[in-house]
Amino acid sequence: MDTNFLNHAVIGIELGSTRIKAVLIDRDFNPVASGGHNWENQYENGVWTYSMQAVWDGIQDAYSNLAADVKDKFGVPLTKVGAIGVSAMMHGYLPFDKGGNLLTPFRTWRNTITGPASEALTEILGFNIPQRWSISHLYQAILNHENHVKDIALLTTLAGYVHWKLTGQKKVGIGEASGIFPIDSTTMDYNANMVAKFNALIADKGYPWDLESILPGVLMAGENAGSLTAEGAKLLDPSGVLQPGIPMAPPEGDAGTGMTATNAVAARTGNVSAGTSIFSMIVLEKGLSKVYPEIDMVTTPTGKPVAMVHCNNCTSDINAWADVFMEIAQLLGVEIPTGKLLDKLYEKSLAGDADCGGVMVCNYLSGEHITGFTEGRPLVVRTPESRFNLANFFRAQLYSAIASLKIGMDILSDENVVIDRLMGHGGLFKAPVVGQKYLAAAANSPVSVMETAGEGGPYGMALLASYMLNKKDNETLEDYLDNRVFASAKCSTVSPDQADRAGFDAFLASYKKGLAVERAAVENL
């Protein structure tokens, strides 16, 4: 390969819930190198958090592994690329003072500690404001009379924070911004009327700031969001090999990068991202008829309205059980890679009954707002008549991973929202066919997975950086993805099976009844 290819290559970096990953794509949009770093949130003083030291340790490790992969494959140092983009899990609370000091530990999307603020803002603004959103965290801090609030000079997200440190620019992409505060899709900025309502709400507090002065600026996909500074280059690559001056794309959230990675940014398209959490993003032709607390209204990276059903729990309990089975294998002297074990368990589930044989699983490790839980207790419940075997048990685990999502998406069905194409990506879809088959049954829609789906968010962020670098005049992101990136993309599609649909519906009925058991577990254990 021509060693000058790096001038046209781009890097996408995403900080996910359990993994930070960096991906390099070439000018033909192929992922050609990658690096990763595993990390976990901590539950400290009643708050799910990550330390900022862990953020930078993880980014540097992921980038170092990417640079090593480039050196190994192409024999060249990673000194410069055409563009870089950073994305991360959306929402949360990162308030800084005017000196750039973090005022509280990072409060992540996973926290369900902002209920009063969420409910009050939803009523006052006439717009669903979920607990995860940055504005909910801010208003809850105000309701709690937290002393730091008066000192806030910048309230941003994880992606916005990393971008700021790399470029000096306090900016976010519009999709990321839509998880901070409601967006007006005509002005492509924070909703001015709602900003005014919030300022009026807190006017008597006497804070030396108004909302618009502390929120990051909003940028559209394709706009330049600054360039890598000398300090930023050193932060990303402490070895000093990476050079400053590289253009950087607007930082986005994992929802926007998931939409981009699956070519689901046009109206009537949608995607489901399924990993630690699970969420669907459906691009709407028109707004919903009313406010639903289960449905978040966000935007694509180009500002189109999107109905988002977000659930906190997806594969964590599956992974925990896989660890138990791994221990059993090791006790028997058998070593098996985790990926292979999970593939086998997924495949085995196909031999289970369509309704899981009466086995009910609730996978709530943390709270779940869709069903009204602030905490979770993973459960396996069966009756004496249940057909309890490995296939039914693991099928129930997989059904449980998408059950809360199904409850939320049924609202969109009742609103007659049309979905022409539903794409899947994330860990639930790594094993061939299985995750697609069950989601197709739940959503009653064909589900497609692209070859690049395993790359997920960092690949989507790289595509957004590529769009900024290479777009032609008046070329929309939709056209760029359709005509240049995914024109010849290979994907597999699974249509709903009627027996699976009936089986999933039977499981879901049991699941909904079983939530009373889950509630009792939370209250008593």
**CA–CA distance, 375 with 445 (Å, rounded to integer):** 31
**CA–CA distance, 137 with 128 (Å, rounded to integer):** 14
Average pLDDT value over all residues in the chain? 95
Q: What is the mean pLDDT of residues 371-396?
A: 96
The tokens for 456 are 């997920």
Taking the domains of the chain in order of start, what are their residue ranges? 91-156+181-214, 316-407+505-524
The H helix count followed by the E strand count for the chain is 16, 24
Q: What sign does the dihedral 418-423-427-433 (CA atoms) show?
A: positive
Residue 439 identity (one-letter amino acid) = L
**CA–CA distance, 402 with 397 (Å, rounded to integer):** 9
Query: What's the pLDDT score for residue 161?
Result: 98
**CA–CA distance, 364 with 367 (Å, rounded to integer):** 7
CATH 3.90.1150.10 holds for 91-156+181-214: no
Please write the tens of the pLDDT for every residue from 149-160: 999 999 999 999
Whether 168 shows a pLDDT value over 90: the answer reads yes
Query: What's the pLDDT score for residue 124?
Result: 97
Please write the tens of the pLDDT for every residue from 65-96: 999 999 999 999 999 999 999 999 999 999 99
Radius of gyration of the CA atoms of the chain, in A = 22
Please write the tens of the pLDDT for every residue from 240-261: 999 999 999 999 999 899 899 8
Contacts of 455 (CB under 8 A, 6+ apart): 23, 31, 34, 261
Whether 453 shows a pLDDT value over 60: the answer reads no
Query: What's the pLDDT score for residue 286?
Result: 84
